[in-house]
């Protein structure tokens, strides 16, 4: 089944403690806001549009405007026409939490979104809501399921483009489910074409730099022979070309010079630096340093470069200042507009975190703080780097500059403490916790989903990198189709530390793919012993229990999965199937209805709700669901078989014949399809055709009771 699986240096970083930073931030924003509001009241604020582009997984040092070789001519040209902020950092190197910070102006501990798959609480305002309330027409075009509307970022957007038919990705990592950039760009162009006469905010998200690389073959051929980073650079070049075309469309429409263009990224990519190929596990600049290019209308401030440290949380307040929109009091970032006029302000260090090692690899969480000169990383073995002179962060100064390390560590701990009251979106309710305890999942060694420890006795993520790389290589075997070898390799890793949650889950999924659900169950249970509130493990355990026909136990696990992760439409779908198997048709209908509320194009939910309607003899509703399912997947044997059954019971034998024949075309080795067709032929009085189909059904499955009984009945009748 589908799986859901994280200005130049101007003095000492310790000059301003976090509480003072926050006070200064509030005063700065307030003063700027009053100035903007006064100008707005006088009609002086230009009526600009906003085009915000996020290039997922783009590290800053792979753009020409940040010193790299030229693979991005359009981005480099736009950088020369605008302002380049040289030292911008993501709060977290994971797609959903980073974009949440970008679009709310808040750090992850404050939003509660600290890894992929969580849902933004409705109480937290978004930039889109701010702009929509001021009359902007708003649209988002997202290239990855990780940013699907179910996770809360669609609020404030009139249109939130991007559909992800999850049933086509059974067994896939959600992080790989994407829409190629040319489709994203085309959708954005079409929308802008239709809204050019109105003030708008368009958010465009390109996911192409995030593996797997899906660039067109012509682009792949150009870069496949390049050095180590060739395909990564190829994706940069490909997206650069798409952004160039998108901008040309704005020029064609005559609106480029009244549109603020902001280009940034959610995080970078390790590409092997510090042993990290991807992102999310460590907090070095390779994965946290992101570009930020701001092109003003009429190229105002063109060519300016700002060296002040900044964060993605500064983008939302900057946008509000530029567009003359009141800034939300919830913003924790500050506008970067004053830097353009050369205003001297105390620098605010940039905070970053990753809980991925903590929640998935039985390792400590990581926290980092960057001031105008130094990077401090809080870990079991803390680190300190002077990144301006050591951009690769290769020379750890923790033992030679302990005073600076202690100062930054204190600032970091105080800042985290000031955000400790953020929403805990992953926390289970007391009722769910009690249910988990009653099932024996919660014990003294279980992972806590509350505030992760600042000082952790768990292994340092740096010491888990070899294991993490081994884990990734094993998953590559699975991707290549060698699932059995992958399962064995994952089980060896799991044996080294049973509390490796993600390894246990992946081992279970591999066994599930091999139809060895009894073995899969043990791995999912091991994951839950380490992390009782893990919704993925509960969901996958429920799937395997359903496959084993242990329906009561499956329902229990799937119900827990829906309570722990209400956005998981697939959990509701499988729960509906399980309840239907138990004969609980009303409860099945409730679960399937809920699944389709979350994901209206959930093929499996439509198919199975249609089947439940048939069982309840609700023919019209059943027909509607099944036809919608068939429209999503015209070549689905299951959809045609269900439609045939509906026609059979309604007396349209010719309609049933058409659907059953199509079913066999699509699935010629389905015993059930042949027996259904045999029964139809009996109903139509075609004895020879019926016998042929029923015998074929028994060849494929000697235990097909319908075929056995039908043949016995027809034989007795002929005597």
Distance CA 372, CA 387 (A): 9
Among 432, 424, 430, which Cα is nearest to 562's?
432
pLDDT in tens, 573-591: 999 999 999 999 999 999 9
How big is the CA angle at 231 (ends 226 and 234), to the nearest 5 degrees? 90
Regarding beta strands 83-89 and 200-206, do their DSSP bridges make them parallel or antiparallel, or are they unpaired?
Answer: unpaired
pLDDT of res. 714: 74
Residue 292, H or E segment: strand 289-295
DSSP class of 150: G
Distance CA 299, CA 139 (A): 24
Residue percentage of the chain with pLDDT more than 70: 88
pLDDT in tens, 646-671: 999 999 999 999 999 999 999 999 99
Among 143, 103, 99, which Cα is nearest to 239's?
143
| Ranges of residues in the chain whose predicted pLDDT is under 70 | 1-45, 227-228, 420-451, 715-719
Among 458, 502, 257, which Cα is nearest to 366's?
458
Regarding beta strands 83-89 and 289-295, do their DSSP bridges make them parallel or antiparallel, or are they unpaired?
Answer: antiparallel
């Amino acid at each position: 089944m589908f799986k859901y699986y994280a200005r130049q240096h101007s003095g000492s970083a310790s000059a301003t403690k976090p509480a003072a930073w926050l006070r200064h931030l509030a005063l700065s924003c307030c003063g700027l806001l009053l100035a903007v509001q006064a100008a707005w009241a006088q009609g002086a604020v230009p009526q600009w549009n906003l085009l915000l582009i996020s290039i997922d997984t783009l590290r800053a040092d792979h753009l020409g405007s940040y010193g790299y070789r030229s693979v991005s001519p359009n981005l480099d040209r736009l950088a020369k026409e605008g302002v380049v902020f040289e030292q911008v950092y993501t709060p977290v190197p994971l797609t959903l939490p980073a974009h949440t910070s970008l679009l709310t102006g808040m750090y992850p501990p404050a939003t509660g979104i600290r890894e992929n798959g969580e849902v933004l609480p409705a109480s937290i305002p978004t930039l889109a809501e701010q702009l929509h309330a001021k009359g902007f027409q708003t649209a988002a075009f997202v290239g990855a399921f990780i940013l699907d509307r179910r996770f809360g970022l669609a609020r404030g957007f009139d249109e939130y483009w991007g559909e992800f038919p999850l049933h086509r990705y059974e067994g896939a990592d959600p992080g790989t489910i994407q829409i190629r950039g040319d489709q994203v760009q085309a959708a954005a162009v079409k929308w802008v074409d239709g809204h050019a006469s109105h003030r708008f905010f368009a958010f465009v998200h390109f996911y192409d730099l995030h593996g797997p690389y899906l660039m067109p073959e012509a682009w792949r051929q150009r870069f496949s022979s390049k050095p180590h980073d060739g395909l990564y650079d190829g994706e940069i070049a490909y997206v650069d070309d798409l952004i160039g075309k998108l901008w040309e469309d704005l020029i064609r429409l005559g609106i480029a010079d009244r549109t603020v263009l902001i280009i940034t990224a959610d995080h970078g990519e390790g590409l092997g630096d510090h042993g990290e190929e991807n992102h999310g596990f460590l907090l070095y600049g390779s994965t946290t340093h992101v570009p930020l290019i701001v092109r003003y209308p009429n190229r105002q401030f063109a060519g300016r470069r700002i060296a002040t440290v900044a964060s993605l949380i500064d983008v939302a307040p900057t946008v509000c200042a530029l567009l003359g929109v009141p800034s939300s009091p919830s913003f924790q970032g500050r506008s970067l507009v004053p830097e353009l006029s050369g205003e001297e302000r105390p620098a605010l260090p940039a905070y970053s975190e990753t809980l991925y090692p903590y929640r998935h690899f039985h390792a400590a969480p990581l926290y980092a703080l960057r001031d105008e000169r130094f990077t401090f990383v809080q870990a079991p073995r803390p680190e300190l780097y002077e990144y301006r002179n050591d951009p690769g962060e290769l020379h750890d100064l923790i033992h030679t500059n302990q005073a600076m390390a202690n100062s930054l560590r204190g600032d970091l701990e105080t800042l985290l403490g000031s955000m400790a009251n953020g929403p805990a979106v992953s926390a289970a309710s007391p009722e769910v916790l009690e249910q988990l305890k009653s099932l024996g999942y919660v014990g003294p060694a279980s992972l806590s989903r509350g505030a992760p420890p600042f000082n952790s006795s768990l292994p340092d993520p740096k010491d888990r990198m070899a294991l993490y790389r081994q884990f990734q290589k094993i998953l590559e075997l699975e991707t290549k189709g060698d699932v059995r070898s992958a399962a064995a390799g994952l089980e060896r890793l799991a044996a080294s530390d049973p509390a490796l949650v993600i390894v246990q889950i992946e081992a279970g999924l591999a066994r599930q793919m091999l139809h060895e659900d009894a073995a899969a169950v043990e791995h999912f249970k091991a994951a839950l012993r380490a992390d009782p509130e893990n919704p993925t493990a509960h969901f996958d355990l429920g799937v395997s229990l359903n496959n084993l026909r242990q329906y009561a136990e499956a329902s229990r696990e799937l119900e827990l999965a829906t309570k722990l992760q209400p956005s998981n439409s697939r959990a509701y779908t499988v729960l509906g199937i399980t309840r239907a198997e138990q004969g609980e048709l009303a409860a099945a209908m409730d679960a399937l209805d809920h699944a389709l509320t979350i994901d209206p194009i959930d093929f499996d939910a439509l198919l199975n709700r249609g089947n439940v309607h048939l069982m309840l003899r609700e023919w019209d509703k059943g027909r509607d669901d099944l036809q919608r399912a068939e429209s999503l997947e015209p070549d689905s044997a299951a959809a045609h078989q269900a439609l045939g059954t509906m026609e059979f019971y309604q007396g349209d034998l010719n309609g049933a014949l058409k659907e059953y024949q199509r079913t066999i075309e699509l699935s010629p080795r389905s015993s059930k399809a042949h027996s259904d067709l045999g029964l139809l032929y009996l109903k139509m009085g075609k004895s020879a055709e019926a016998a042929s189909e029923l015998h074929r059904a028994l060849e494929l499955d000697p235990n097909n009771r319908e075929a056995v009984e039908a043949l016995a009945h027809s034989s007795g009748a002929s005597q």
